Amino acid sequence: MNCPWFGAEDFAILRLEVGRLICYIVHEMVESILYEKLSGARVRCGVCQRRCLISEGKMGYCHTRLNSKGRLYTLVYGEVSAQHIAPIEIKPLFHFYPNSRAFSLGTLSCNFRCIGCQNWHIAHSDPGVGRTEYVSPEESVRLARQYNCQGLSWTYNEPTIWLEYTIDGARLAKEEGLYTTYVTNGFMTPEALDRIGPYLDAFRVDIKGFRNDFYREIANVGAFKGILEVTKRAKERWEMHVEVVTNIIPGYNDDEGQLRDIARWIRDDLGEDTPWHVTRFIPHLKLSNLPPTPVETLESARQMGMEEGLRFVYLGNVPGHPSENTYCYSCGKSIIERHNWMVLSFSIEKGKCRYCGVKIPIVGHYVGVKGQHDES
Ligand code: SF4
């Protein structure tokens, strides 16, 4: 498509802002698929639950969507800030194609501004400021195949930010027999979910806490209930495989009330077989003054999850801890042994525990021989 301002096909978008010149260089400015045109050349974005009202010449909260002459455009279509070949366990997805490799892609910016973000270097970086490389959807699928990956994952920052790109990539990936996954904060609108839904296999979602004031303080999000509703919709309407992560931050979301509420919600709305990963917070940004989460706190959270009826609760960011392993909920034997995202042994045969024969909920097949994955 042509630049609405200069007419060139590959172009620089120039914008004067408070006396300084900011240059956005994008490969192609693609029109948003979810927005409403309003009076006075304003638009309402429908991609995430912020539903930004954007005046002509302005961008939304995430700084990835620009209103140009009453039409909304994404500035990050195909703009890749990070690409890696990663074990699926690092997402973490523990019950989905174990030991497989996902070609993993992220862009710039985010619709959250988490004060302790571990990927702040890309998630807090605007298009045109952080470095990107254009990778077409076709190329992303070709690279996944070239590097012997079994699927694609959009991760590192919120994948909804480049919804249009992930839809195009996911559609192509499915045609090629690859799996597709989102690592998401779940703050997308139901409409956005419904656009990607037909092409997305797994939904690895953060449920960061269970109080509005916590979400407001940590991520500048006023209400979190919409995240729960979208996650439930991903499972029920689109039959995605769902795994939940709660990064436990000392003094913020480590209270028994929130942790038990999360566990009960997972049990009641997603099901007792849904994996819950309670992960160790590593200090970053404005939370650099905090200590890493004590291992005892994580163990206590895991215990609460099990008491509330969840069958699979894992510890994350504690390499070598026994709770990285999967234990059969019936006989208690260790049936998948892991260390730091590597699968060391796999004792599930035809979907059942090798020791007692009970069915173990795993989506997709175990991939390859046990051992180390490549990272790049
Ligand atoms: S994606 Fe979300 S934050 Fe970005 S412009 Fe749209 S509604 Fe606003």
Distance (Å) from CA 11 to ligand 1 centroid: 23
CB neighbour class for 274 (10 Å; exposed up to 12, middle 13-18, buried from 19): buried
Q: Give the confidence band of 27 by pLDDT, cuts at 50, 70, 90.
A: low
Contact residues for 41 (Cβ-Cβ < 8 A; gap 6+): 55, 56, 67, 69, 70
Q: Give the confidence band of 166 by pLDDT, cuts at 50, 70, 90.
A: very high
**pLDDT tens string 178-198:** 999 999 999 999 999 999 999
Q: What is d(CA 297, CA 324) in angstroms, rounded to the nearest whole number? A: 15
Q: According to the model, what pLDDT value does residue 135 have?
A: 97
Q: What angle do CA 153, 154, 159 make, to 5 degrees?
A: 155
Q: Which CATH superfamily is domain 79-321 in?
A: Aldolase class I (3.20.20.70)
Distance (Å) from CA 209 to ligand 1 centroid: 22
Q: Give the confidence band of 24 by pLDDT, cuts at 50, 70, 90.
A: low
Which residue ranges make up each domain of the chain? 11-74, 79-321, 325-376
Ligand 1-lining residues (CB < 6 angstroms): 45, 47-48, 50-52, 60-62, 64-65, 111
Closest ligand 1 atom to Cα of 111: 3
Pocket mutation for ligand 1, best pick of 31, 36, 42, 48 (most atoms within 8 Å of C-beta):
48
Whose Cα sits closest to atom 5 in ligand 1?
60
Radius of gyration of the chain (CA): 21
Q: Which of 11-15, 74-78, 116-120, 283-287 has the highest mean pLDDT?
A: 74-78
Q: According to the model, what pLDDT value does residue 29 have?
A: 83
Distance (Å) from CA 126 to ligand 1 centroid: 13
Q: According to the model, what pLDDT value does residue 310 have?
A: 98
Is the pLDDT at 61 greater than 70, yes or no?
Answer: yes
**pLDDT tens string 268-289:** 999 999 999 999 999 988 999 9
* Number of neighbours of residue 360 by Cβ within 10 angstroms: 22
What is the percent of the chain where pLDDT is above 90?
86
Q: According to the model, what pLDDT value does residue 139 have?
A: 98
Closest ligand 1 atom to Cα of 51: 7
Q: Identify whether the C-beta of residue 248 lies closer than 8 Å to the C-beta of residue 298.
A: yes
Is the pLDDT at 6 greater than 70, yes or no?
Answer: no
Q: Give the confidence band of 70 by pLDDT, cuts at 50, 70, 90.
A: very high
Return the half-sphere exposure (C-beta side, CA atoms, 13 A cut-off) of residue 295: 8
Distance (Å) from CA 319 to ligand 1 centroid: 36
Q: What is the 3-state secondary structure (H, E, C) of 225-250?
A: HHHHHHHHHHHHCCCCEEEEEEEECC
Tokens standing for 250? 């000392």
In this prediction, residues 345-359 reach a mean pLDDT of 97
Is the pLDDT at 210 greater than 70, yes or no?
Answer: yes
Pocket mutation for ligand 1, best pick of 45, 112, 162 (most atoms within 8 Å of C-beta):
45
Q: According to the model, what pLDDT value does residue 4 have?
A: 42
Distance (Å) from CA 177 to ligand 1 centroid: 31
In this prediction, residues 18-34 reach a mean pLDDT of 66
Is the pLDDT at 32 greater than 90, yes or no?
Answer: yes
Distance (Å) from CA 305 to ligand 1 centroid: 33
Is the pLDDT at 358 greater than 90, yes or no?
Answer: yes
Distance (Å) from CA 45 to ligand 1 centroid: 6
Pocket mutation for ligand 1, best pick of 62, 74, 109, 126 (most atoms within 8 Å of C-beta):
62
Return the half-sphere exposure (C-beta side, CA atoms, 13 A cut-off) of residue 119: 18
Is the pLDDT at 11 greater than 90, yes or no?
Answer: no
Q: According to the model, what pLDDT value does residue 368 have?
A: 73
The overall average pLDDT reported for the chain is 91
